[in-house]
Structures are given as C-alpha cells and as structure tokens.
Amino acid sequence: MNSYYNGTLDRQIKSRTIKNINGLDIHFLESGIEYAQNGLIVLLHGFPELSYSWRKLICRLSNVGFHVIAPDQRGFGRTLGADLSYTSNLSTYNHKNLSDDIYLLVKKLGYEKVKCIIGHDSGSGVAGFSALIRPDFYESLIMMSAPYSGVSDFTKIQEDKYLPITDEIDVDLASLAVPRKHYQSYYRTKNANDQIMNCEKGLNAFFRGYYHYKSADWENNKPFELDNWSASELSKMPTYYIMNKNETMSDTVINNMPSKVEIDNCRWLTNKEIEIYSKEYTRTTFQGGLNWYRASVDLDNLKELSVFSEKKIIVPSIFISGRNDWGIYQKPGSINLMKKSNLDFRGVHLISNAGHWVQQEKPDEVSEKILSFISQF
C-alpha cells in the first residue's frame, strides 16, 4: 500500500477490498476501530476523484472515536467490476444502484446503522439519495460542494420530447457572441474520455490544472448567485463549467494552468499527491466517472427513480462548501431547493479561502464543522 500511495497516506489509514458486493469488488480506505463506540462515518468522493481525496479527513474523524471508511465508488479507482466502456448499461450507474453499492458494503462490514454519510461533488448526490430512501439506516447527512434536492417525477415525459436541460441551454450558449457550452453536455460526449486521456501536457498537468482552476488558489473564483437559468447568466461562470464551444476540457485546463510559483506554493496538493490521481486514471481512464453524467440524464433511469419523487430527506443534514466554489451556484436556486427537500436541514457552512475541493483545501475547518454537527445527536 505504501508504494501505491507514494508515502502520502497517514499510517493509520488502511486499504482494504471486499469482494462480491453488488457485482463489484469494492476497495476502500479506512481508519478507526470497527464497531467503534461513536459509530461509522461513510465518505463518498466525486469526479474526477478517488477515495484518496478524503485522506486529510479520515484520521481527523477516526481519532475522536469513529470508524471511518472512504470507498472508491463504482467506476473509480481500485474498485473492480464496473463496465468502464462508453457502451455501458447506464442503469448500473443510476443513484439507486450506486446507493446499493454503499449500503451493501456497510452491511457486509456488519453495521446496522451509519452515524453519518458524507458526499462531496457527485458523491453528494449518492449520499443524499441514500439518506432519502433509507432514513432508518443513515442517521445523518452532510452534502458538500453540490446541493442535493431529491428526485423529480419523469414518469409522464415522452422520450421523443425529452432533452436534458444542459443540452437545451447549449443551443442558447452557442449563440452568444463568444459561443459556449455546458460542461455536463461535454462530459456526456463519446470523445470526452479520449480527449482528457490524451491531454497534450499529460495527466499530471491535467490534474494540476483542473484542481487549481476550481480551487481558491485561482484568484478569479469569486462566485455569486445567478439570477436565472439562461445563457447570459450561465456564461458568467468560469470556463470549467461553461466551456468555450470549440474547446475540450483538456484545452480549457491547459489554458488556465497555474504558474510555477503557484504550484510551489500549493501546500494542500503536492506533486506526489497529483501523481496518485494520474496513475490511477491512467489505469482506469475517466469513462467510469463520465458514465455517471450520462446516467444522471438517462430517461429510463429518471423514470425508474421517479417512484421516490414524493419523498423528502428527514434525517438531520447540513451543507458544507468552499466560499470560493462556483459549484453551489451552477444551477440557480439549488440551495433553496435543497433546504426545502431536507425537512431537518440545519444550515449552510461556507469555508473561507476554499474552493471546490474544500475537504482537501481546508481539512481542519471541514472536520470541525462535521464533528460539531454530529455531536448534536
């Protein structure tokens, strides 16, 4: 394990794989004593990330008496068994199946309850959905960097009239004086994976640039709430969300690379840590994670999940994000929708001088918010 993680993990953190869980061999990082008195905390990463993205929080939480696990989710890292092709059956990547992966892993570990399920970025959606459908199992919920507002009803939508909202807005974005496109529409294209994998400066440079561009280190990350879902409003966001129409994500990142001084001054993400991401994605590619974006707008998936459209999240919940994170504003009104969908919502916490990777940029502040919340019950 030490050679794989390049000496960047705390020695308390262990790596483990449990086989035959919902068709997967699930790899996870963990720390703390199994069946610890304070209970289990589950950490779910986003894209393009890994269980490794929680390395700075795992021990901060386990050292106060929790058993903490952070799995590589379906399609990511060292979890095996997922179809990583573009032609994958997208039903395996819908929120119900992704939440089943985590539920069955926890059950296999011998737990009947989870003290808190925490999700960052796209992991926030899996955590939110898990708490929505299994409030008897998950005692509390923390969403990070991506508001989750429940399930909509798509049962009456006809296939020939359905178009994802990001594809709809792309028509107007393309008509702007400087033509743009939505990043989620791009991530659903067949060529997105190959274009990122073949980044002209290599994957080390891609990850360095991508993480910098969406962090508080990029000085122009000064987000604000947008007035509405329109091309003119969305175009106010940086190009990592509303891309230039004729650019790939690799182009977008390379055009916004940090300087050598900025890289040298980046204490929250070292070159050794960057290498972990690039090595893992060199092996797996990005397609597993990109399939999440495709599954999230697949009409068959949306109709299947519609059975949960009238449910609200009833367990205690909070939202944590970096103050410099555009992610919380990328869909206007999402914060208010999240509050309405969580019946025991206990607050929004914005961490100063942190961007999208808040748990990596400011682990002390994030762990303090987590522990303060969990201590309430």
Task: Tell me: pLDDT of 137 over 90.
Answer: yes
What domains sit in the chain, N to C, each tagged with a CATH number?
Answer: 14-155+308-374 (3.40.50.1820), 159-290 (no CATH)
For 369-372, the CB contacts below 8 A with 24+ separation are 369/318, 369/320, 370/57, 370/61, 370/116, 370/118, 370/142, 370/320, 371/61, 371/64
Tens digits of per-residue pLDDT, 330-376?
A: 999 999 999 999 999 999 999 999 999 999 999 999 999 999 999 99
Give the integer Cα–Cα distance in Å for 78 and 75.
9
pLDDT for 81: 98
Tens digits of per-residue pLDDT, 363-372?
A: 999 999 999 9
Q: What is the pTM of this model?
A: 0.97
Tens digits of per-residue pLDDT, 293-326?
A: 999 999 999 999 999 999 999 999 999 999 999 9
Quickly list DSSP for 112-153.
Answer: S-BSEEEEETHHHHHHHHHHHH-TTTB--EEEESS-------
Among 51, 39, 56, smallest CA distance to 123 is for 51
Model confidence at 5, in pLDDT bands (50, 70, 90)?
confident
Average pLDDT, the chain: 96
Span of 152-161, 184-193, 277-286 with lowest mean pLDDT: 152-161
pLDDT for 204: 98
Residue 135: CB atoms within 10 A of its CB come to 17
Model confidence at 173, in pLDDT bands (50, 70, 90)?
very high
Q: Which is it for the CA torsion 30, 34, 35, 38, positive or negative?
A: negative
